[in-house]
């Protein structure tokens, strides 16, 4: 219980003095709360972006076989049935099947998801200030050739990250801030075959001190008790004709059922239901893609009133934006030439979003459905926009090791540290208030005694 007093003996408002001292001690709290709010808002922005990217990934994975894309069996137009793979828990696993899959039920358990190697540098006081030394180092990913990166003393951490991202090294670099210092973070591709090694080539002893904080890891899972491994979270060989994507390693079993259902028919006016299905599926991908682009644009550009997003100018978001555009805008081989999004009536707008012309799309698919498969799945069913988008999204959103996920975790930790600092300041202010009250109370009692003695002595002289 706090006791207030007004300094009767000394004639001084001690309560006001104490309150002023306590408030002065708390002066830093406002700044800490502002920084905490900023960290939480940035973490929220990244969380929203991760959610949108995962929603896009689900739409992409929903058409990762021709049977799913067209709603029919891709083997023959006369096949009356189509195989479907049904997951018992789509929060943990999604799957698709081709006509070669056998009807049946399987039990799948994800032991762990694949992970990309992550390395962090020593801490720096600034992201855009001079690093203060020159040199070079090599980056080797798996059995790929080493890529050399040079840096100059006048360059900043952001400059070094940009140099790495512009190189041929199969890694992504970003600058992370933990609330007090900056680090260079280098993230590789998922799977043990993509382990990263660094070599000092010239200059002082590895100025960046890139220490491994997350090892590259393969996905491990059981299918009916038999263990399999995969460098990615997508399994294509464990069950013939079935592709499934691991989304969570809970250690619990998920039932996967392969069933045979009737294939879509042809409408009376001659328009293929399969073309309409493909149009609907692609339109869903375009819509989900545009949601991601809109979220990125909100952060990376000024609005009509000149306001900027919380992550304006962020190198990581710019890298993601370029990566998405690169996958969507690429051409894919088909019959000696290339097919691209323009072939199927998909155009890119000035803000990076996509527009799908349904008429052009339908005409293109009706005349060459194999061309759409080449665009969606790439040469021989490997790559295409589905493979490219899924790989890119995994790198940025994978739990704990994804580029955006790890950064969001850092921001949440930063906000928690600000909470701890605020609590310590409040404790110090409370202790100061208690200490001052005791000291001023003692002083007040002393002044009362002195006043009494003064009155007594004055009375003696006046007697």
Q: 132: pLDDT confidence band, cut at 50, 70 and 90?
A: confident
Per DSSP, the residues of 221-248 read EEETTEEEEESSSEESSSSTTEEEEE--
Contact criterion met (CB below 8 Å) for 69 and 373: yes
Give residue 381's pLDDT.
54
- Residue 272 has which token pair? 């293929």
Between these two residues, 140 and 400, which has the higher pLDDT value? 140
Prediction pTM value: 0.57
pLDDT for 74 equals 40
How far is the C-alpha of 372 from the C-alpha of 385, rounded, in Å?
11
With bands split at pLDDT 50, 70 and 90, how would you rate the model's confidence at 290?
very high
Q: Quick one: which of 5, 153, 50 has its CA closest to 398?
A: 50
Please tell me which of 4-8, 83-87, 219-223, 437-441 the model is most confident about, judged by mean pLDDT: 219-223
Contact 163, 138 (CB under 8 A): no
- Looking at residue 96, what is its pLDDT? 80
Q: Which of 42, 35, 50 is nearest to 410 (CA)?
A: 42
221 pLDDT band, cuts 50/70/90, is very high
Average pLDDT, the chain: 81
- Give 431-443 pLDDT, tens digit per residue: 888 888 888 777 7
Residue 430 has pLDDT above 60, yes or no: yes
Q: Does residue 9 surpass a pLDDT of 60?
A: no
Confidence grade of residue 206 (pLDDT, cut at 50, 70, 90)? very low
pLDDT of residue 7 exceeding 60:
no
Q: What is the pLDDT of residues 11-55, one digit of tens each?
A: 566 778 888 888 888 888 888 888 888 888 888 888 888 888 988
Where is average pLDDT lowest: 34-43, 187-196, 216-225, 345-354?
A: 34-43
Average pLDDT over residues 441-448: 76
What is the model's pLDDT at position 463?
63
Query: What local confidence, expressed as pLDDT, does residue 375 receive?
Result: 85
Separation between Cα atoms, residue 350 and residue 344, nearest integer Å: 19
pLDDT, tens only, 342-396: 888 899 888 888 999 988 888 888 888 888 888 888 765 557 888 888 888 888 8
In this prediction, residue 438 carries a pLDDT of 83
Name the 3-class secondary structure at 390.
Answer: helix
**Residue 12 pLDDT:** 60
Rounded mean pLDDT, 168-190: 85
The confidence score (pLDDT) of residue 379 equals: 64
* pLDDT classification of 170: cutoffs 50, 70, 90: confident
Give which of 319, 339, 337 is closest to 329, Cα–Cα.
Answer: 339
- For the chain, domains (ranges, CATH) are 1-72+271-463 (1.20.1330), 116-214 (no CATH)
Question: Per-residue confidence at 262, pLDDT binned at 50, 70, 90?
Answer: low
Residues 164, 9: Cα–Cα separation, whole Å: 72
CA distances from 159 to 179, 317, 338 (A): 21, 16, 36
| Stretch among 96-100, 159-163, 252-256, 406-410 having the lowest mean pLDDT | 96-100
Q: Higher-confidence residue: 59 or 444?
A: 59
Q: What is the DSSP string of 323-353?
A: HHHHHHH--EEETTEEE-GGGGTEEE-TTS-
DSSP letter for each residue of 399-428: TTTSHHHHHHHHHHHHHHHHHHHHHHHHHH
């Amino acid at each position: 219980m706090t006791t207030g007093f007004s300094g009767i003996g000394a004639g001084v408002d001690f309560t006001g003095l104490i309150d002023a001292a306590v408030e002065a001690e708390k002066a830093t709290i406002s700044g800490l709360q502002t920084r905490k709010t900023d960290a939480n808002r940035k973490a929220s922005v990244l969380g929203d972006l991760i959610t949108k990217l995962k929603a896009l990934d689900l739409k992409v994975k929903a058409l990762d076989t021709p049977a799913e894309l067209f709603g029919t069996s891709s083997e023959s137009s006369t096949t009356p049935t189509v195989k479907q793979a049904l997951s018992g828990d789509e929060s943990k696993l999604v799957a698709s099947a081709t006509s070669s899959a056998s009807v049946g039920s399987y039990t799948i358990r994800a032991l762990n998801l694949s992970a990309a190697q992550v390395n962090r540098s020593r801490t720096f006081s600034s992201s855009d200030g001079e690093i203060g030394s020159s040199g070079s180092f090599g980056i080797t990913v798996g059995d790929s050739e080493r890529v050399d990166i040079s840096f100059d003393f006048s360059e900043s951490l952001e400059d070094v990250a940009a140099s790495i991202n512009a190189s041929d090294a199969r890694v992504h670099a970003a600058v992370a801030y933990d609330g007090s210092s900056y680090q260079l973070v280098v993230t590789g591709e998922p799977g043990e075959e993509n382990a990263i090694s660094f070599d000092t080539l010239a200059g002082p002893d590895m100025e960046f001190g890139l220490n491994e904080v997350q090892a590259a890891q393969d996905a491990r899972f059981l299918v009916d008790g038999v263990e399999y491994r995969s460098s990615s979270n997508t399994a294509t060989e464990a069950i013939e004709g079935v592709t499934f994507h691991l989304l969570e390693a809970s250690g619990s079993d998920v039932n996967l059922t392969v069933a045979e259902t009737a294939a879509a028919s042809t409408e009376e006016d001659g328009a293929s239901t399969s073309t309409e299905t493909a149009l609907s599926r692609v339109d869903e991908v375009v819509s989900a893609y545009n949601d991601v682009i809109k979220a990125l644009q909100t952060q990376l550009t000024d609005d009509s009133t000149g306001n900027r997003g919380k992550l304006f100018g962020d190198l990581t978001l710019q890298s993601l934006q370029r990566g998405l555009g690169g996958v969507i805008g690429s051409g894919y081989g088909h019959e000696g030439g290339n097919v691209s999004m323009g072939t199927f009536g998909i155009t890119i707008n000035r803000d990076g979003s996509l527009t799908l012309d349904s008429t052009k799309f339908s005409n293109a698919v009706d005349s060459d459905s194999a061309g759409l498969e080449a665009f969606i799945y790439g040469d021989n069913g490997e790559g295409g926009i589905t493979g490219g988008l899924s790989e890119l999204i995994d790198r940025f959103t994978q739990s704990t090791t994804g580029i955006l996920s790890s950064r969001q975790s850092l921001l949440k930790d930063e906000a928690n540290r600000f909470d701890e600092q605020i609590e310590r300041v409040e404790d110090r202010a409370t202790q100061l208030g208690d200490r001052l009250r005791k000291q001023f109370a003692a002083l007040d009692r002393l002044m009362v005694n002195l006043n009494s003695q003064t009155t007594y002595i004055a009375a003696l002289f006046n007697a």
